[in-house]
Chains A and B, each alone.
Chain A
């Protein structure tokens, strides 16, 4: 079964703070994604990656950077956090092999509060 782990699970920072959310998947999936979940907005795609060193812009990228250092590791960076970035962040991965269903496997989520 797919395993996607995120850290930290909870983070509180102040406006202007620097935050890094980490995600590791151990299923040899090439595709990884960062979503944010907010009441009234559902799940929105921030950034995604096709593989190590690759980065693609999602639907709500403003204020976020991302880096994919290896096939397993995908990081989301908030260099100047703002209260509007208070949210629940999910990392996800999906496979790309034969018979690919496009199924997303989500991590446990990282709750970020920006004061």
Chain B
């Protein structure tokens, strides 16, 4: 049973467009929602994260939108660049995040110039 669902599986955008990646979760105890990105041949790395105390978190061109009522959160990549081409994973964990993160299946983003 997938506790964190991610869509789409792959996404192609043109340079300058906004890429939107979506995730939903089921476990109400989840209260930490990071996004990781992974470039080919590399390991995953934290991109941006949010806690439910807010419904929006921005870091440069990357923004997380969070909807606690619907148990959904999304990553918006504004002004997409070819260098943003990577696989993006949403994840979630409960307050006791020592138990590790539960990851979505990933979205492969391709940005064409």
**Interface residue ranges, A against B (CB under 8 Å):** 31, 33, 40-45, 48, 50, 56, 58-59, 90, 94, 96, 100-104, 106-109
Contacts and interface: CB of A to CB of B under 8 A. Distances in A.
B14 interface: no
Given A56-B99, A102-B32, A102-B97, A42 B43 contact: no
B101 interface: yes
Nearest to A44: B103
A59 B2 CA distance: 11
B100 A33 contact: yes
Contacts of A102: 32, 34, 49, 93, 97, 101
B44 A106 contact: yes
Nearest to A106: B43
Interface residues of B, number: 21
Contacts of B98: 31, 48, 50, 94, 96
A30 B52 CA distance: 26
Given A43-B101, A45-B102, 10 more contacts: A41-B105, A43-B89, A44-B103, A48-B100, A94-B98, A101-B49, A102-B49, A102-B101, A104-B100, A106-B44
A90 B43 CA distance: 8
